[in-house]
């Protein structure tokens, strides 16, 4: 496992354990985290950690996969459970000198497949 994948894995474990000190140690002081769906940008490690610590009802992580093609970039697939409501997520983690420089997280709620394409698709 390369450096970027290892950092992404440590982020996952920190959230699962609600270990905010470990999470804090993974980000550059001036790191940026973005949530494009809500239009939010958290600038600085302190803001990123405060948002995590104060998030009401952190979801349970039910699935996780990291793909890292380099030492500086990891893409993580997530399956999150918000009190019975499943969400899929993608996190793009940019790593510099072993710490997160920027992390962008995208989340979506499942939607029903369109009937018109059923003959070409199979259910997952």
* pLDDT, position 1: 73
The 3-state DSSP class for residue 103 equals strand
Asked if residue 88 is part of any domain, the answer here is yes
* pLDDT, position 7: 95
Asked if residue 121 is part of any domain, the answer here is no
Instruction: Summarize the confidence of residues 57-66 as an average pLDDT.
Output: 87
The 3-state DSSP class for residue 37 equals coil
Q: Name the pTM for this structure.
A: 0.88
Number of domains the chain contains = 1
* pLDDT, position 57: 86
Q: Residue 92 corresponds to which tokens in the numbers above?
A: 């793009």
Q: Is the pLDDT of residue 2 over 90?
A: no
Q: Is the pLDDT of residue 124 over 90?
A: no
The sheet with strand 40-43 has its strands ordered as 40-43, 27-35, 99-108, 85-96, 73-82, 60-67
The 3-state DSSP class for residue 44 equals coil
Asked if residue 120 is part of any domain, the answer here is no
Asked if residue 32 is part of any domain, the answer here is yes
Query: Residue 23 is part of which domain span?
Result: 3-110
| pLDDT tens digits, one per residue of 27-50 | 999 999 999 999 999 999 999 999
Asked if residue 66 is part of any domain, the answer here is yes
Domain with residue 55: its CATH number is 3.10.450.50
């Amino acid at each position: 496992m390369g450096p970027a994948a290892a950092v992404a894995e440590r982020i996952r474990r920190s959230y699962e354990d609600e270990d905010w000190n470990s999470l804090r140690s993974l980000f550059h002081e001036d790191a940026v985290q973005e949530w494009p769906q809500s239009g939010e940008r958290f600038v600085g490690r302190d803001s990123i950690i405060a948002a995590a610590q104060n998030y009401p009802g952190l979801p349970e992580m039910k699935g996780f996969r990291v793909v890292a093609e380099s030492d500086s970039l990891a893409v993580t697939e997530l399956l999150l459970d918000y009190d019975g409501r499943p969400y899929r997520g993608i996190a793009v983690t940019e790593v510099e000198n072993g710490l997160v420089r920027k992390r962008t997280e995208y989340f979506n709620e499942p939607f029903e497949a369109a009937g018109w394409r059923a003959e070409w698709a199979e259910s997952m």
